């Protein structure tokens, strides 16, 4: 059952219970009032009869006076007087005031609580009976109770409608939010939610829009990285193919040619030429081995030769190309303690950091520090004194700017963090990569040690 229907069913049930409670309270008060009124009327009637009987003793025609006494009750609203003779037969009775409207039977049964009639002995064995009749009082309380119940019912219906309207409005924003959540992450994206309704719902809509923007940005970034990865893979394959083709292909061809020549030479009986051809094959194979080693060297991770060597090679690579820049390298780490992934990440951070500084910063000095920063962590700090980040960089989101993103992803994959801040004296740029869990697990270290 939808939430709105459930809420409204609950509200209706509460209103109906309140209405029923109100009705019961009204009926209880009405019954009390009828009882009080009838008892009061009966006591007044009894006084009237007793006073009448006292005066009767001096009257000439007592029967006529008795009838007159009964007649004084004509038109009474609550009590009927009846004159019984000595045998108990009715000889006279007063007429009650007739109520204006007919009270429904169920209301009479609900309220009517009969009060016993009163019998007062008179002269000659006759007696006067006072019989309470609730019809007139019921008529009055019915009118009041009905009006009060009507007001309560109108109030309940209006409250129900108002609550339904308010709940409907609040839920409309919630429905928009829930269908937006259902479609988030779909390829076709979604339109931003309009912050509407209660303040809590407005905050939810704003937070949802922010989350979905971040999701879209992350998805776009992922796509760019994937595309770049594919491009890099394609480039690597093409380079590998080029190298195999250019370096190995001619040598293989040369070996094949020399082998065929050797065959021909051997068949023609010029055996003395064979060693020269064999040497040529030997030289070609040695050359091929060198090329294959080079290719394999390029395919291995850059840190495979050792972290210290790899970092020194990266620094001296740039130093050779830019002798005017002063490089300071400080590496105080125990390489054997580090995870392979951590070593590769450190190399990649230094590689991209140096390449960025040389490409974008025009520096005169670059400091590279790699050190342990807690029991298990490593900190890599690259500082240059170049131009620093320009406002253009802050606003740019070009598809080619993937160096820092890729670096941050690598560092985050190792549960670390990357910060890019202005450099020393607010000049240049400082890049800090923290890898809190760079060390091998304890057991691994012990088994190695
Ligand atoms: N050391 C630095 N000094 C000044 N600006 C820098 C430095 N490093 C990065 N930047 C700025 O940050 C931008 C983003 O760097 P990032 O490495 O992500 O991309 P890129 O170097 O432009 O391209 P690529 O994807 O090829 O690395 C650079 O374009 C440059 O504007
Ligand atoms: Mg870069």
CB 265 within 8 A of CB 273: yes
Q: Among 357, 404, 418, 423, which residue has the most ligand 1 atoms within 8 Å of its CB, making it the best to mutate?
A: 404
Which pLDDT score is estimated for 396?
A: 56
Separation CA 442–CA 358 (nearest Å) = 39
Distance 65 CA to ligand 2 centre (A): 127
Nearest to 219 by CA among 187, 176, 251: 187
| Residue 223: predicted pLDDT | 85
Distance, CA of 72 to CA of 94 (rounded, Å): 8
CA angle 150/151/157 to nearest 5° reads: 85
401 Cβ below 6 A of ligand 1: yes
Max CA pair span of the chain: 186
Pocket test for ligand 1, best of 352, 356, 426, 428 (most atoms within 8 A of CB): 356
Residue 406 and residue 353 in contact, taking contact as beta carbons nearer than 8 Å: no
User: Does the CB atom of residue 151 touch ligand 1 within 6 A?
Assistant: no
The CATH class of the 302-448 domain is: alpha beta
Distance of alpha carbon 26 from the chain centroid: 47
Distance CA 96, CA 80 (A): 6
pLDDT score for 187: 62
Token representation of residue 397: 């989101």
The mean pLDDT values, 10 residues at a time, for the chain of 449 residues are 86 93 92 92 92 79 84 92 89 86 85 83 85 88 91 93 88 81 71 80 88 87 83 83 84 91 90 90 92 82 83 92 94 89 92 92 95 90 92 60 84 91 86 91 63
Quick one: pLDDT at residue 347?
92
Count of other CB atoms within 10 angstroms of residue 61: 10
Which protein residue's CA is at the shortest distance from atom 1 of ligand 1? 357
**Residue showing tokens 């839920």:** 171
Evaluate: CB of 386 within 6 angstroms of ligand 1.
yes
Give the distance (Å) from ligand 2 centre to CA of residue 352. Answer: 6
Segments making up each domain of the chain, as ranges: 3-159, 199-299, 302-448
| 206 CA → ligand 2 middle, Å | 34
Determine the pLDDT at residue 400.
60
Per-residue confidence (pLDDT) for residue 349, from 0 to 100: 94
- Beta-ladder partners of 121: 127
Does residue 160 sit in helix, strand or coil?
helix
279 three-state secondary structure:
helix
- Three-state secondary structure readout of 81-126: EEEECCCCCEEEECCCCCCCCCCCHHHHHHHCCCCCCEEEECHHHC
The answer to whether the CB of 363 is under 6 A from ligand 1 is: no
Domain spanning 3-159, CATH class: alpha beta
Ligand number nearest to the C-alpha of 361: 1
Instruction: Return the bridge partners of 330, or none.
Output: 369
**For residue 322, how many C-alpha atoms fall within 13 Å in the half-sphere facing its CB?**
16
The response to whether residue 281 sits with its C-beta less than 6 Å from ligand 1 reads no
pLDDT at res. 323: 92
- CA 87 to ligand 2 centroid distance, Å: 127
Instruction: Find out whether the beta carbon of 385 lies less than 6 Å from any atom of ligand 1.
Output: no
Pairing of the two strands 365-372 and 326-332: parallel
């Amino acid at each position: 059952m939808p939430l709105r229907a459930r809420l409204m069913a609950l509200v209706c049930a509460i209103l109906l219970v309140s209405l029923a409670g109100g009705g019961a309270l009204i009926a209880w008060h009405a019954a009390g009032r009828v009882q009080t009124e009838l008892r009061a009327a009966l006591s007044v009637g009894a006084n009237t009869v007793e006073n009448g009987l006292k005066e009767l003793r001096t009257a000439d025609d007592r029967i006529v006076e008795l009838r007159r006494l009964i007649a004084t009750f004509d038109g009474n609203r609550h009590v009927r007087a009846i004159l019984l003779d000595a045998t108990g037969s009715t000889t006279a009775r007063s007429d009650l005031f007739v109520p204006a409207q007919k009270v429904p039977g169920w209301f009479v049964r609900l309220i009517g609580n009969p009060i016993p009639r009163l019998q007062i002995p008179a002269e000659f064995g006759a007696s006067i009976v006072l019989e309470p009749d609730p019809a007139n009082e019921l008529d009055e309380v019915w009118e009041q109770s009905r009006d009060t119940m009507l007001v309560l019912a109108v109030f309940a219906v209006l409250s129900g409608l108002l609550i339904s309207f308010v709940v409907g409005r609040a839920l409309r924003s919630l429905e928009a939010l829930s269908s937006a959540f259902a479609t988030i992450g779909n390829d076709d994206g979604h339109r931003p939610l309009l912050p509407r309704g209660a303040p809590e719902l407005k905050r939810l809509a704003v937070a949802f829009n922010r989350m979905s923007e971040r999701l879209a940005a992350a998805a776009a970034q992922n796509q760019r990285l994937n595309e770049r990865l594919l491009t890099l893979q394609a480039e690597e394959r093409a380079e590998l193919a080029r190298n195999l083709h250019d370096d190995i292909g001619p040598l293989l061809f040369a070996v094949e040619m020399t082998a065929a020549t050797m065959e021909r030479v051997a068949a023609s009986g010029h055996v003395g030429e064979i060693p020269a051809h064999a040497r040529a094959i030997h030289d070609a194979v040695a050359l091929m081995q060198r090329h294959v080693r080079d290719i394999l060297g390029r395919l291995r991770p850059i840190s495979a030769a050792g972290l210290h060597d790899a970092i020194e090679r990266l620094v001296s690579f740039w130093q050779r190309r830019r002798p005017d820049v002063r490089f300071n390298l400080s590496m105080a780490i125990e390489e054997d303690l580090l995870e392979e992934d951590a070593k590769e990440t450190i190399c990649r951070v230094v590689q991209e950091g140096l390449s960025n500084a040389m490409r974008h910063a025009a520096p005169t000095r670059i400091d590279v520090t790699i050190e342990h920063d807690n029991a298990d962590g490593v900190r890599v700090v690259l500082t240059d004194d170049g131009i620093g980040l320009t406002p253009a960089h802050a606003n740019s989101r070009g598809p080619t700017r993937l160096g820092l993103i890729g670096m941050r992803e690598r560092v985050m994959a190792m549960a670390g963090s990357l910060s890019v801040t202005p450099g020393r004296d607010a000049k240049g740029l400082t890049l800090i990569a923290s890898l809190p869990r760079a060390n091998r697990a304890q057991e691994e270290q012990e088994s190695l040690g």
